[in-house]
Structure 1
Amino acid sequence: MTDSTARRDDAEVATAAARAGAEVVLARYGRRLSRIDKGAGDFATDADVAAEEAILGVIRAARPDDAVHGEEGGRRGPADASRQWLVDPLCGTLNYAVGNMLVAVNVALRDGPAAVADPFSGEVFFTDGTTAWVRRDGVDELLAPTAATGLVDVNLDPPFPSAPGFRAVDLLAHPDFVAGFRPRVVSSTLALAWVAAGKRAAYVTDGGDLTESVHFAAGIALCRAAGCVVTGVDGAPIGQTGRAGQGGRGLVVASDAETHGLLLSMIRGQR
């Protein structure tokens, strides 16, 4: 099996797993949900847990020698596994719990293929690590990022580790932002898939190194493969140290270099 064939096979596993989780999320939508308190106002629901089990079932059947790190179940699988899947079975739990459909199911092989499923549109955005597509009704289309919408999604959820040097809420009041963009707050990493698909011009969030986060790994992989510009909030490649010693913290993901540069100049002005 060639490397490209192996990557495409892994992409199909990621897609099937994300779709399995999305089917659970869709089926349980609108039902009474039991909540599992995680502290600090965070919680999971029985839908999160059931979706993760469905995803795990697909990965176990297709890749029994791989490990899985799920948001709800932690790390499972062979302790010596060289490959690990990162799973967020329901990104946007609060949205979902109050009847908001802006959620995503994220499945990513660390440093490899990934998929993001939208349970309500039926779309699955996926990548083999080189190219990115969206699957609708069994038909695959290449993703084409564009800044044409002028919409920038911003994560306003705490914590805010870069404050007071950088606060996303301040970015929204910047004169250049007001002149060129319009803010949106999806409160789910579905927004990253939308940047890759051209439904958003960019996405901004604060935070630490998000490259191996179960929440962000799939979206980052998707955006990179689609040709988006992906850095930390200081412009450094994520996972690397920048001039301020905090390179790669958070994300600025833009459809093109011009949009990325504009947003970064505003952020640097804050800092």
Structure 2
Amino acid sequence: MNGGDRIGSRRGAQPDTVHAVINSNASHDDAEIAVAAVRAGAEVVRARYGQRLTRIDKGAGDFATDADVAAEEAILDVIRAARPGDAVHGEEGGRRGADDAARQWLVDPLCGTLNYAVGHMLVAVNVALRGGPAAVADPFTGEVFFTDGENAWVRGDEGDTPLAPTAATKLVDVNLDAPFPSAPGFRAVDLLAHPGFVARFRPRVVSTTLALAWVATGSRAAYVTDGGDLTGSVHFAAGIALCRDAGCVVTGVDGAPVGQAGRGLLVAADAETHGLLLSMIRGRG
């Protein structure tokens, strides 16, 4: 990507500025739109941090806040301005656009809502074009992790740096949030108690898919979560795309390819780490 021609590359750029840049040059590709969109959402998340939030009950103990809703609207504004014919599926607003639209954007405006609501900064903003480019923003560091569908980078104040996964930290993030659809065959808590895990790795639990971006950058060795097919999930699609294009090993917790055949996610920085964790999950390690 041309480092001198980035949408919203200045930290703290206002969404209106982002819109103007997009509208002035329709040739910007989908990766740049994804970057612009997550930056717009991240700006809202930063601005609302620490303020009084209105909670919106979703049932079963889950909730959104008015910050989630406002961030999603900021993201939708960017996508609509650049790709008005595309459909969007947002966590808060559901599906918008034509049912038969060939292109669909998946939007998670604030992943880690509970963290955010209690004053913790461990959150992410996720935007993915299904089957294509994607971006993940850390609203509080200003970093944007993104892929053009082939290669992955982190964008910061100094420009774009290719992502280089490594298992050197030996830190593994494990999602312990309910539900647990694979029990009793797989329980994340059982993995944490496995003697092989204790000997080789150190667990972390952040409850946000920002942890997937951390695997792609090398600050985490792996990420494990239960679930079904997560490729179309607004929560996970951007992180899956990012990790794949950074060169991580990405499968379900059963070792099957992610998608309809796989269950959940086992994402590792390298094949050795992936193999060790998979053997523990299968009860052989």
Smaller-chain TM-score bracket: over 0.9
**CA shift digits 1:230-263 (9 cap, x unpaired):** 000110001143xxxxxx1100000000000000
- 8 Å CA contact 1:7, 1:129 repeated in 2: no
Q: Which residue of 2 aligns with 1:211?
A: 231
Alpha-carbon distance between aligned partners in 2 of 1:175 and 1:81, rounded to the nearest angstrom:
49
What is the letter of the counterpart of residue 267 of structure 1?
I
Alpha-carbon distance change, 203 to 69 in structure 1, aligned in 2, over 3 angstroms: same
Q: Does 1:101 align with 2:121?
A: yes
State the shift of 1:79 in Å: 2.9
- 8 Å CA contact 2:228, 2:260 repeated in 1: no
Q: Which residue of 1 aligns with 2:133?
A: 113
Q: Secondary structure of 1:172's match?
A: helix
State the shift of 1:80 in Å: 2.5
Alpha-carbon distance between aligned partners in 1 of 2:104 and 2:229, rounded to the nearest angstrom:
18
Q: Which residue of 2 aligns with 1:75?
A: 95
Q: 1:257 aligns with which of 262, 271, 283?
A: 271
What is the letter of the counterpart of residue 188 of structure 1?
T
State the shift of 1:135 in Å: 0.3
Runs of 4+ displaced beyond 2 Å: none
Matches within 5 A, 1:126-205: 126-137=146-157, 139-205=159-225
Alpha-carbon distance between aligned partners in 1 of 2:97 and 2:175, rounded to the nearest angstrom:
32
The TM-score, its normalising length taken from structure 1, stands at 0.94
Alpha-carbon distance change, 201 to 8 in structure 1, aligned in 2, over 3 angstroms: farther
Q: Does 1:84 align with 2:101?
A: no
What is the letter of the counterpart of residue 163 of structure 1?
A
**CA shift digits 1:195-244 (9 cap, x unpaired):** 00001000000011100000000000000000000000110001143xxx
What is the letter of the counterpart of residue 192 of structure 1?
L
Give the number of aligned pairs.
260
| Contiguous gaps of at least 5 residues in structure 2 | 1-25
Q: Which residue of 1 aligns with 2:6?
A: none
- 8 Å CA contact 1:153, 1:204 repeated in 2: yes
State the shift of 1:78 in Å: 2.5
Q: Which residue of 1 aligns with 2:280?
A: 266
Alpha-carbon distance between aligned partners in 1 of 2:260 and 2:76, rounded to the nearest angstrom:
31
Alpha-carbon distance between aligned partners in 1 of 2:274 and 2:195, rounded to the nearest angstrom:
16
Q: Secondary structure of 2:73's match?
A: helix
What is the letter of the counterpart of residue 174 of structure 1?
H
Matches within 5 A, 1:230-249: 230-241=250-261, 248-249=262-263
Q: 1:15 aligns with which of 32, 35, 51?
A: 35
Q: Which residue of 1 aligns with 2:66?
A: 46
What is the letter of the counterpart of residue 235 of structure 2?
H
Alpha-carbon distance between aligned partners in 2 of 1:165 and 1:82, rounded to the nearest angstrom:
37
- 8 Å CA contact 1:8, 1:128 repeated in 2: no
- 8 Å CA contact 1:205, 1:251 repeated in 2: yes
Q: Which residue of 1 aligns with 2:247?
A: 227
Q: Which residue of 2 aligns with 1:125?
A: 145
What is the letter of the counterpart of residue 258 of structure 1?
E
What is the letter of the counterpart of residue 261 of structure 1?
G
- 8 Å CA contact 1:7, 1:113 repeated in 2: no
Compute the RMSD of aligned alpha carbons.
Answer: 1.5
Alpha-carbon distance between aligned partners in 2 of 1:98 and 1:51, rounded to the nearest angstrom:
18
Q: Which residue of 1 aligns with 2:85?
A: 65
Alpha-carbon distance change, 233 to 7 in structure 1, aligned in 2, over 3 angstroms: farther
What is the letter of the counterpart of residue 266 of structure 1?
M
- 8 Å CA contact 1:233, 1:251 repeated in 2: yes
Q: Which residue of 2 aligns with 1:3?
A: none
- 8 Å CA contact 1:114, 1:128 repeated in 2: yes
